[in-house]
Amino acid sequence: MPASDSRQSGVVHHVDRREFLQRAGWGSVGMTALVVVGGRARAAAATSPYPDWMPPSDKPPKRGGIVNRASAWDPPVLDPRLTNSVGLFQIASLTSNRLVRYPFSDEASGTADLTLKGDLAESWSGSPDHRVWTFKLRHGIKWQKVPPLNGREFVAADVKYCYEAYAKEGVQAFTFREIEGIEVPDRYTVRIHLKMPNTMFPQNLAEPVTIIFPREVLEEDGDLKKRLIGTGPFILKENTRKVRAVLVRNPDYFDIGRPYIDEYHILSTPDSATRLAAFRSGQSDVNVVQSLSEVEAVRKTNPATVVQEIRNVQTFFGLALAQDKPPFNDVRVRRAISMAIDRQKQVDTVYEGHGIPGWGIPYIYYQDKMPTAKELGPWWQYRPAEAKKLLAEAGHGKGFETTLFYYEYFPQMTSQVQLVQQDLKKNLNIDVKITKLDYTTYFGRYAEGKWDGMVWGFKTGYAVSLDEQTYQYMHSQSTKNYFRVADPVIDELVTKLRQTPDRAEQRVITKKVVDREFDQVLRMWMPYDTGFFLWQPHLRNIGSLTMRGNFGYGASTFARVWLDK
């Protein structure tokens, strides 16, 4: 898009860095538990000169061209049953579809629009008790013309087979084991019976990790680690670990006329400096940075760069503790550690005043305005003297030694980890030995629970639905409960939440979950800044939404992207 196009140029007005760091403002968003209409989630701790909403282009789209992206992630495996890794779903969300989905940016009413759209299903409905969900499929959808599918028709039996396979093993099992049975009344109807009511089941099926894979590949290969074949807008032509993935346009995609681009190349680039250099030289069309100063540096050399600010509504990273074992199974130890960490210092230094102090469940699901530091409760405040006293009461007055491993998702993360290490040593005499790992090793060890001590942990960035953010992530029996939460009060609340259809009551219950989490320090969230998305000026319809980025888990947006050159 031309830099002179004021509607999408990315620059609203100019402020210098000092002014930026001094300005602060809260916003609000009218929100129900499932749908936000016409609003923008205002969640950054400070304002920015860049817009958080990029309307779609009103020009007729052009066909053709190649989009390149330097990526920080490699897929650990291609099998969607075995990993929630963004490394996989940056690819899989383009080769494959789900029954339903959330809006693309070119059809959303705003950044926080969570209205469900049909994907493979054209309509769906639930029974009065929310235990039976019926999906009507589109007619004429074809699997990609790749052996062994060879373009055969996609039918209801494919959904049944895939969902039953998910339930048998892997990280998706917890979602699909709530299914009691699946009926296929005809070729285009799927009727799913749940073991218990779930008012938000369709939202769970809209998550990018619930892609539908074919029977033939699993039966021929015994797994899904070698081939990724779907019904999606792009066909995976090449996947060379630690080199690149090449996706080419699927000419038989059911959304006629899309995608617009011919190819999308994902280049394995774990080093952030190399990714930035690739963007500056035009070898990469999109990039993300965490700070305003990085944006300013890029625009000095590439003034036509389009910038979108991503407003924070949640934190993805935090200090995960092996709370099923001593000493972290003692709530006093967890509370002491939390109070010994100066979160505001991290916001001010690591994130240049633009980050948030940290919470896990997106605030838009339980209140209208971003939480203040005070609202996060006493254990989120920096009180080192009280922390030291509490740790002594727990029997660790002299401190202790522990370990922490992490992956550097972005350069600021190393600084943040080191600040936590310094705070714990200075205030509690806790010696933390840090190990930095490559992405695949880190993700596997953390997600599979093969660790003790501490981890710079995450909740996977794909999650949009309220049920995914609560029941799926926090229930003690969930395969996605990476933080090892095992709290009977939480189990009861999140179960009640998914069975509650009233949106106002959902907000009340969600707030109780949040308050319990903070009080028991079940997940020790750290400050975070979603940052800024950068893209070359010739890209169209690549705007990002509040909880769905324009690549990674949100890569399906490339079905709508086109090149204006």
How many helices, marked H, and strands, marked E, lie in the chain? 17, 20
- pLDDT at position 36, please? 32
Query: For 348-355, what is the mean pLDDT?
Result: 92
- pLDDT at position 514, please? 97
Q: How many domains in the chain?
A: 2
> What is the distance between the alpha carbons of residues 469 and 459, in angstroms, rounded to a whole number?
9
User: pLDDT tens-digit profile of 64-88?
Assistant: 999 999 999 999 889 999 998 999 9
Task: Answer whether residue 209 shows pLDDT above 50.
Answer: yes
> What is the distance between the alpha carbons of residues 212 and 80, in angstroms, rounded to a whole number?
9
Question: Is the distance from CB of 220 to CB of 89 less than 8 angstroms?
Answer: no
Cα 494-462-262 angle, rounded to 5 deg? 155
Together in a domain, 246 and 342: no
- pLDDT at position 46, please? 55
Percent of the chain topping pLDDT 70: 92
Residue 554 CB neighbours (<10 A): 25
Q: Does the residue 27 lie in any domain? A: no
User: pLDDT tens-digit profile of 226-274?
Assistant: 999 999 999 999 999 899 999 999 999 999 999 999 999 999 999 999 9
Range with lowest mean pLDDT among 38-52, 161-175, 177-191, 300-314: 38-52
Domain that holds residue 203: 66-269+530-563
Q: What is the mean pLDDT of the chain?
A: 90
Q: Does the residue 248 lie in any domain? A: yes
The token duo for 228 is 């990724």
> What is the distance between the alpha carbons of residues 38 and 287, in angstroms, rounded to a whole number?
27
Query: For 437-458, what is the mean pLDDT?
Result: 93
Together in a domain, 124 and 183: yes
Together in a domain, 420 and 491: yes
Together in a domain, 119 and 227: yes
Together in a domain, 106 and 217: yes
- pLDDT at position 38, please? 30
**Strand extents, DSSP E, 48-131:** 66-71, 100-101, 117-118, 121-126
Q: Does the residue 79 lie in any domain? A: yes
Max alpha carbon distance in the chain (Å)? 68
Closest by CA position to 463, among listed 86, 194, 108: 86
pTM of the model: 0.86
Q: Does the residue 479 lie in any domain? A: yes
Together in a domain, 229 and 331: no
Together in a domain, 338 and 391: yes
Cα 20-365-212 angle, rounded to 5 deg? 105
Q: Does the residue 61 lie in any domain? A: no
540, β-bridge pairs: 562
Together in a domain, 367 and 472: yes
- pLDDT at position 369, please? 93
Closest by CA position to 481, among listed 320, 254, 289: 320
* Dihedral Cα 230, 228, 84, 480, nearest 10 deg: 70
User: SS3 for 429-464, per residue?
Assistant: CCEEEEEECCHHHHHHHHHCCCCCCEEEEECCCCCC
Q: Does the residue 307 lie in any domain? A: no
Q: Does the residue 242 lie in any domain? A: yes
> What is the distance between the alpha carbons of residues 497 and 480, in angstroms, rounded to a whole number?
18
Q: Does the residue 22 lie in any domain? A: no
